[in-house]
Amino acid sequence: MHNLIRYWNQNRKKIITIIVAIVFFIIIIQILNQMAKEQREMEKQNSNTNTYDTSLPTESIVGGATITAEETENNVEIIQQFINYCNNKDITNAYAMLTKECKETLFKTQADFENGYYNIIFTSEKIANIENFLSENDQYTYRLTLHNNMLATGKLDEKTFQDYITIDQTSDNGKLNINSFIKKNSINKETESNDIKISVIAQEIYKDYEIYEIKVENNRNTPILIDTRSNSKSVYIVGDNNVSYNSLIHEIASNLYEVPAHFNRTYRIKFNKIYSVDVKTRGVVFSDIVPDSEAYRNNPEEMKQRYRISVSI
């Protein structure tokens, strides 16, 4: 014991130096191992073009429709390709993946897509949690929760962005409808009554609402009002479940409610109908049409006459 103490006293600095060197070496090895692990994970994320989460459910959240594992793989790869293009700032190829209907409805030009979608969401590299939301025929809608890729940015950021992306396997011009846009249908149905014709031209379906392109033709000798704005439920759509869904017609400028004699206007009217594969829209109703807007303005208390026009679709 005496010899050990004497050895320590004689070689204290040397022993301490060796111990410090060993500890420092162990710490360096641990740091290098952690860096290598993070690098491997980053490379896995960056090369993830053809990978997907095999735990993704084949059964949709809404409606419970089931698709095959092969369809799931193909759909997720399409979405992942779009995300990769955006992460790599390849805006041209990302825009090319949108369907013709999505471009015509939301992003008519690549610049519109860049400013209205890409610049808002892809301010940094994103990774996505992809969920099978609903399926109908050859259209598959997925709910995406987009997170910042912390391995790429080196920053902890809990901010997320949610989108609903629909894959349209019937489309020949791109595959994706983004920004919660699900599909567009041509309607071209009309009803004429009392020299007023209402035509429902097209239907745009989004995850949380529907928009209808509607043309009102006034063939009367007096100007008309399509709505008096006195009742928020006077313009609505009807589902095949016999439930009415109110419009947001108040979003239209009030001076456009009047249609002059022998004139027509085309409107885009939004309705509060959440998308469901089980409930289709069967009709559009205008129930508060004033047949003479001048008489109504001059004496609204006396001008009580109203027309109700319904268009079955």
Higher pLDDT, 224 or 15: 224
Task: Give every CB contact of residue 121 below 8 A, 6+ residues apart in sequence.
Answer: 86, 146, 161, 163
Q: What share of the chain is helix, strand, coil (3-state, %, to 5)?
A: 35, 35, 30
- 207 neighbors 165 (Cβ within 8 angstroms): no
142 pLDDT higher than 50: yes
Plot region of 41 (φ>0 → left; ψ -120 to 50 → alpha; else → beta): alpha
Instruction: Set out the domains of the chain in order of their start, with CATH numbers.
Output: 52-179 (3.10.450), 183-312 (2.60.40.1640)
Higher pLDDT, 57 or 100: 100
What pLDDT digit, counting tens, does each position of 16-66 carry?
A: 677 766 766 677 777 766 665 555 555 455 444 433 444 566 766 666 667
Instruction: Of 8-17, 151-160, 215-224, 250-259, give the lowest mean pLDDT range.
Output: 151-160
Higher pLDDT, 106 or 69: 106
- 169 neighbors 149 (Cβ within 8 angstroms): no
- 172 neighbors 166 (Cβ within 8 angstroms): no
Angle at 306 between CA 304 and CA 309, to 5 degrees: 175
Structure tokens at 257: 């409610």
